[in-house]
Amino acid sequence: MSKPLLSEQKNLQHLAIIMDGNGRWAKQRNLPRIAGHNQGVQTVINIVDECARQGIRYLSLFAFSSENWGRPSQEVDALMELLLQFLASQREQMLENGIRLRVIGDRNRLSEAVRRALTAAEVETASGKNLTLVLALSYGGRDEILRATRLLVQQALAEGGDPAAINEQDFESCLDTLGLPAPDLLIRTSGEMRISNFLLWQLAYAELYFTEVLWPDFDAVELQKAIDDYQRRKRRFGLTDDQLDTEPKLQRETTD
Ligand code: IPE
Ligand code: IPE
Ligand code: MG
């Protein structure tokens, strides 16, 4: 009998991935770094497809960080070009597969052409009901938190509200990820064991999974290993085992 789909297994609603190791993949083959990024795009296509097939509702991919702006301009330009190609080549697929695109990050730093293509893709795919693909571009967790804080202060000043009344929900409503559930599982490829400024607020209770596999080599088999590992985890959300065993509902309530 074939394995049940993920959506029928333990709840993995939102998967986040730090796609790392493209440069090293290319270096191992004496290729320019961009060849690694090229191959990395193929992995993105495969993994989006696999996640949709598995019934995962949200997939967040760290594609370009606020710190990545500091890379050589040639590499930055090539990455932006790859992004445009990805959007153009995946348009049909996304529409066909009910994939909704959502972009998080500081769009103001992106070129007008990239901004336009992203907005067009978001609008076109807005009715996608299967998988929400969240692309983190020009994204930094600290930057997002700072922008959210500015927004919150602006609102508070305009409304003359009481700062003591601000709660977590108010703060979340100012984040780029407004309306998205927090990631359940974070995967980082290439053996690095750090967050690198990804979803700092949202990852508070995510399960973390690290693999040595470089992003261009990551595939459905490697994804399944991460998912299997996740299925074995016990998410306590600060509670005790006894509480979770006797009152499984509590676990959900603390995360709602
Ligand atoms: C991840 O691969 C892709 C981006 C950060 C855009 P890297 O380009 O960081 O690859 P390594 O870490 O140099 O191998
Ligand atoms: C993190 O990878 C950013 C993305 C995957 C887009 P980096 O390769 O930029 O991270 P560091 O510099 O090794 O922490
Ligand atoms: Mg890297």
Q: Under 8 Å CB-to-CB from 251, ≥6 apart: which residues?
A: 235, 236, 237, 239, 244
Angle at Cα 79 formed by Cα 146 and Cα 65, nearest 5°? 20
What is the pLDDT, as a whole number, of residue 10?
Answer: 66
Q: Which residue has the higher pLDDT, 2 or 30?
A: 30
Catalytic choice (38, 46, 49, 68): 68
Q: What percent of the chain has pLDDT over 70?
A: 93
Indicate the top mutation candidate among 20, 33, 41 to test ligand 1's pocket, ranked by most ligand atoms within 8 A of CB.
20
Q: How confident is the model at residue 2 (pLDDT cuts 50, 70, 90)?
A: low
pLDDT at 251 over 90: no
pLDDT of residue 162: 86
Burial class (CB in 10 A: 0-12, 13-18, 19+), 137: buried
Q: How far is the CA of 53 from the centre of ligand 1 (A)?
A: 27
The per-residue pLDDT for range 78-137, each reduced to its tens digit, is 999 999 999 999 999 999 999 999 999 999 999 999 999 999 999 999 999 999 999 999
State in Å: Cα 36 to ligand 1 middle. Answer: 8
Report every protein residue that has its C-beta within 5 angstroms of ion ligand 3.
20
CATH architecture of the region 11-141+181-255: 3-Layer(aba) Sandwich (3.40)
Q: What share of residues in the chain are helix, strand, coil (percent, to 5)?
A: 50, 15, 35
Cβ atoms within 10 A of the Cβ of 24, count? 16
Higher pLDDT, 159 or 188: 188
Q: What is the pLDDT of residues 131-154, one digit of tens each?
A: 999 999 999 999 999 999 999 999
20-50 confidence digits (pLDDT tens): 999 999 999 999 999 999 999 999 999 999 9
Question: Which of 68, 71, 144, 187 to mutate for ligand 2's pocket (most ligand atoms within 8 Å of CB)?
Answer: 68
| CA 103/CA 176 separation, integer angstroms | 8
DSSP state of 180: P
pLDDT greater than 70 at residue 7: no
- Of the chain, the percentage scoring pLDDT greater than 90 comes to 86
